[in-house]
Amino acid sequence: MGDERLRLFSGSANAELAQLVARYLGLAPGPLVRKSFADGEVYVQIQESIRGCDVYLIQPTCAPVNDHLMEMLILIDACRRASARQITAVIPYYGYARADRKTAGRESITAKLVANLITAAGVDRVLAMDLHSAQIQAYFDIPLDHVYGSPVLLQYIKDRQLEDIVIVSPDVGGVSRARAFAKKLDDAPLAFVDKRRQAHNEVEVMNLVGDVHGKTAILVDDMIDTAGTISEAARVLLERGAREVYACATHPVFSANAIERLSDGTFTEVIVTNTIPVAPERRFPQLRILSVADLLGEAIWRIHEDSSVSSMFR
């Protein structure tokens, strides 16, 4: 876009997304060397001068989360030591976000710990997408721009022209997210599933609040991890008379048995974005992957130009 001070670099976590963002901005990702030593230590070297430049580092902290987080910290340090004027960490998926408060004694709040690590590494600003909870924004003592994948998901749903839709939150904690989603779909009806978690990654669905009989149910969440919550919610929706069930989520974490649960015929479609790469062998017929590259690219340009980012979502 004609500004030589704007530089874009990508870690190894999602190079394809970084290429698409760079294409939107009319750039090429900056050259760098990234390798691992025999003991697993990561080495990074920036291969061009970035002195006085505004640098944007794209790196979701997805699996293997520890490796990708450490690589991002090293990238930030390398850019800081190369005299970048400003460093922005672009984090399409923020790992360790679910431990955002203490629910029992002697627990770590890893969402805050990771924020501290990123800040201490020398980053000046963060651009994050669909954080697990809004309070994580307050864990950073530096500017943070929070963008949402919902416009991309909403446009896809509108283009499908589904009839008699009801937006469903798979748990009580996601009701506000589902309500905002429903409002953008002409104030579609809202329902939610009351679940009781027995242990981490294990849930027991207890009750459904709302009417889904004869309707097209769209389950909305920020991420799909093991798919235990969302698949149990889908089962309840079908038992209560839903005609078909769609799943919408920004982050396709897809760990453990998620693929088997999502591809067993319960869902008509599973709609996600490319904040996290999904390997070809882990894709299935019901999966639809939408790109958020243009949205991230526009946010990066607005930050660089000191323009409003929030106006993108009005």
Examine the residue annotation and report whether 183 is marked as an active-site residue of this protein: no
Q: Tell me which residue has tokens 């670099």.
A: 9
Phi, psi at residue 308, to the nearest 5°?
-70, 130
- Name the catalytic one among 112, 158, 183, 195: 195
In this structure, what token pair is assigned to residue 128?
Answer: 């994050």
| Closest C-alpha to 94, from 145, 43, 47 | 145
- Structural contact between residues 272 and 221, judged by C-beta atoms closer than 8 angstroms: no
Phi, psi at residue 95, to the nearest 5°?
-75, 165
Alpha-carbon distance 138 to 171, whole Å? 24
Cite the beta strand spans of 148-286 per DSSP E.
165-169, 190-199, 202-209, 216-224, 244-252, 269-273
Alpha-carbon distance 94 to 191, whole Å? 27
Q: Tell me which residue has tokens 């790469």.
A: 277
In this structure, what token pair is assigned to residue 270?
Answer: 């599973």
Q: Tell me which residue has tokens 């748990």.
A: 171
Alpha-carbon distance 126 to 223, whole Å? 20
Side-chain half-sphere of 206: how many Cα atoms within 13 Å?
A: 7
H-state helical runs in 196-306 = 228-239, 258-262, 293-304
Residues acting as catalytic residues: 195
